[in-house]
Amino acid sequence: MTPATVRQALAQSSLVPVDGQVLLAHVLGRDRAWLIAHAGDPLSREDADRFFALARRRREGEPVAYLTGWREFWGLRLAVDPSVLIPRPETETLVEVALARLPADRALRVLDLGTGSGAIALAIASERPLAQVVATDRSPAALAIAGANAQRLGIVNVAFAQGDWYEVLPPEASDGFDLIASNPPYVVAGDAHLREGDLPFEPIGALVAGDDGLAALRLIVAGAPGRLASGGWLAVEHGYDQSNAVQRLFADAGFQNIVPARDLAGIPRVVAGRRA
């Protein structure tokens, strides 16, 4: 049998073009530009078999990021697996909001709660090398992924700690954080979206937060004032319809200068507030 060419294999995969290109480039150790330039090149039987096996798994719903083991976030190539959420472009809004409140010319202390793959902590640490970032997660598997990402990227100003939200920190920090950031679970239990797209394959504990989706956010907002330095900021990601409720949580906790932010799609995505 004549070997399939790059072009033929992509057509036979029955995948949307971008998914097919990403998976075939992964198999070949090339980039998507190479595929375009070598569309007529034949594939080896081994490479074709590997690609069609991945294509079948993708057609069955598995996320491309889990199939390749990688996802880019804030220009950083992060390893991911099913123990962590797949970093998403909308979460870059949280990084932007955080960086706008972190001066680049002085030492800072930053806390990332529920770090997962380390995406937020590593993005902030890479942009603010004078900052010392602490990243917590209750999942040992997630922390292993995050730590390996930090080591591979050569980002040394992040320390990782295992624990649920603030439990690994002193009850009241004498030397508080300049900023606390978090992308916590915020999906309502039983939400129909949990059956769509990549979500059925992602860790449910990193997605769902009680009957109204605000359980984790309540804990984070309520616990933040005692861990923030005077004038320090809290910035959190939330669901598309939760901005008003989250702003009320901030106000009830005594935060000032409460600012909502929208992602690139124009959807309310982040709330930030300043400790009085």
122 shares a domain with 26:
no
Q: Is residue 115 part of a domain?
A: yes
**CATH assignment of the domain containing 255:** 3.40.50.150
How many structural domains is the chain composed of? 2
CA distance 98 to 250: 16
**Which structural domain range is residue 128 located in?**
71-274
Q: Is residue 65 part of a domain?
A: no
Q: Is residue 66 part of a domain?
A: no
Tell me the pLDDT tens digit for each residue of 1-26: 567 999 999 999 999 999 999 999 99
27 shares a domain with 153:
no
218 shares a domain with 127:
yes
- pLDDT value at position 194? 83
- Secondary element (H or E) of residue 234: strand 228-237
Task: Indicate the pTM of the whole model.
Answer: 0.92
Tell me the pLDDT tens digit for each residue of 150-190: 999 999 999 999 999 999 886 655 579 999 999 999 998 88
198 shares a domain with 112:
yes
Q: Is residue 214 part of a domain?
A: yes
- pLDDT value at position 196? 86
41 shares a domain with 127:
no
Strand partners, 264: none
Q: Is residue 250 part of a domain?
A: yes
Tell me the pLDDT tens digit for each residue of 65-119: 999 999 999 999 999 999 999 999 999 999 999 999 999 999 999 999 999 999 9
136 shares a domain with 49:
no
Q: Is residue 269 part of a domain?
A: yes
Average pLDDT over residues 46-74: 97
CA distance 226 to 6: 57
User: Which range among 30-44, 148-162, 201-215 shows the weakest confidence by mean pLDDT?
Assistant: 201-215
In 3D space, the residue among 249, 181, 180 whose CA is nearest the CA of residue 213 turns out to be 249
236 shares a domain with 151:
yes
